[in-house]
């Protein structure tokens, strides 16, 4: 979260409701295991598309 705190243009987010995946994409956040989880993309590509998560390769979202 250092990237967010030191972003000189952080005010662009003022008053916005942000999801962790939005900030992760914006600042290139990587998990301790080296993955870059993206629940937002999963939500759009799987859930909103009506796909059964049991039939989806979840590694694509890690």
What's 34's DSSP letter?
S
Decide: helix, strand or coil at residue 28.
Answer: coil
- Looking at residue 34, its pLDDT comes to 87
Q: What gap in Å lies between CA 62 and CA 60, rounded to an integer?
A: 6
What are the tens digits of pLDDT across the range 30-39?
A: 889 988 888 8
Please state the φ and ψ torsions of residue 33, each to the nearest 5 degrees.
Answer: -85, 5
Q: Does residue 19 register a pLDDT over 90?
A: no
């Amino acid at each position: 979260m250092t990237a967010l705190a030191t972003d000189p243009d952080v005010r662009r987010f003022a008053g916005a409701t942000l999801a962790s995946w939005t900030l992760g994409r914006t600042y290139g956040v990587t998990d301790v295991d080296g993955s870059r989880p993206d629940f937002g993309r999963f939500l759009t590509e799987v859930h909103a598309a009506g796909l059964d998560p049991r039939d989806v390769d979840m590694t694509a979202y890690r």
